């Protein structure tokens, strides 16, 4: 079974209601375990791409960024 990756496009940013820069900031902190990968082309060209679960992870991270209370740790 293979994982398909999709490049990040401006339309994806519009679908999430965010600008491309905001999505870039959040996605840049993601790891391959989160469903993001760099796809390299000939030369120095490269693009960030997401697996389906990577898009879900990115959406959740953006939601958490908008509401920092979602990331609060419980007090002991």
71 or 55, which is more confident?
Answer: 55
Across 11-67, the runs of DSSP E, i.e. the strands, are: 36-40, 46-50
Q: pLDDT per residue over 37-61, tens digit each?
A: 888 888 888 888 888 888 888 888 8
Task: State yes or no: pLDDT of 11 exceeds 80.
Answer: no
CA atoms within 13 A on the CB side of 55: 15
Whole-number Å distance between alpha carbons of 62 and 48? 17
Confidence (pTM): 0.67
Mean pLDDT value of segment 5-26: 72
| Domain residue extents for the chain | 6-68
């Amino acid at each position: 079974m293979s994982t398909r990756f999709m490049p990040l496009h401006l339309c994806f940013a519009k679908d999430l209601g965010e600008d491309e820069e905001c999505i870039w900031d959040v996605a840049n902190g993601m790891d391959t375990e989160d469903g993001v990968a760099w796809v390299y082309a000939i030369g120095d060209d490269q693009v960030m791409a997401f697996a389906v679960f990577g898009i879900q992870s990115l959406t959740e991270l953006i939601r958490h960024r908008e509401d920092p209370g979602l990331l609060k740790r419980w007090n002991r």
